[in-house]
Amino acid sequence: MQTRFVEANGFRFAVDEMGEGDHLALCLHGFPESRFSWRFQLPMLAAMGYRAWAPDLRGYGETEPKPAAVSAYVIDRLMEDVAALIDASGAKRVTLIGHDWGAGLAWSFAINRVRPLERLVIMNVPHPAVMAENLRSNPAQRKKSWYIFFFQLPWLPERMMTARDARGVRRAFHEMAVDKTNFTPEVLDHYARNAQRPGAIRGMINWYRGAFRARGRLSEPWPMLETPTLIVWGEEDSALGIELLDGTDAHVRDLTIERLPGVSHWVQQEAPQKVNPILEAWLSTPR
């Protein structure tokens, strides 16, 4: 594995890379993660023949600059980053893989057909139409999503997440994880340090503010998604209920869902021994 810096869309993206060639697997992390969250998947993807990229997304980690304005984090701007990374890679075929906010971005990118995709892999985030409906009609999910509304406040969420050596960031992983084996003190230190970089925590939380205030192209009516799609879902997700999978097949033509009992929201980090065989089998099966 090597880290390279890719100039794209006015940013200098820090990208972990394994493998080579023009068949790209682009892995998008979530909150409050980084490119490091794909450390267990990149070797497997490279062994399958992909050039696997895991970038620090806008506002995160070693990617610079970190814009301060909320308007820099609306979904249209974030999709531009993904398109620019794909273009910079020179890839002829692209599989997009996302978790948490990276999965939300991947859904939007695929639905809007910003660039051709061979396949789409989503981890523990519902289709945006299903999420929108549940936020309207599902009181239990609204309660679980309290943090989305809290993150709309100015400065206080940043203070809370970074106080006491970024205890809020550390707790997000350690308290939610069912199996805490892969969330060692060293791993939690990594995420805490990333959140404490100048401008980072504001940029990270601005993803939520941008989504809340400006829907951009992520809006109804929802076109049918034609890209073959795999959803991998840890069933012990304390932030997103398992019922958020219901109704996805109304929006995705070619859909495969793999549920993992006893696994939390941090699915690809917590249970790579379960996630990687699912990924390998599905990516190897002709569609």
Beta-carbon contacts of residue 154 (< 8 Å; ≥ 6 apart): none
Active site residue 265: yes
3-state secondary structure 19-54: CCCCEEEEEECCCCCCHHHHCCCHHHHHHCCCEEEE
Q: Which of 85, 92, 95, 76 is nearest to 56 (CA)?
A: 85
Per 3-state DSSP, what percentage of the chain is helix, strand, and coil (rounded to 5)?
45, 20, 35
Q: Which is catalytic among the residues 100, 127, 237, 251?
A: 100
- Give the position of tokens 């906010």: 101
Active site residue 208: yes
Contact, 50 vs 127, CB < 8 A? Answer: no
How far is C-alpha 211 from the chain's CA centre? 14
Q: Which is catalytic among the residues 60, 127, 208, 237?
A: 208
Amino acid at residue number 285: T
User: How far is residue 265's CA from residue 33's CA, in Å, rounded to a whole number?
Assistant: 12
Active site residues: 100, 208, 265
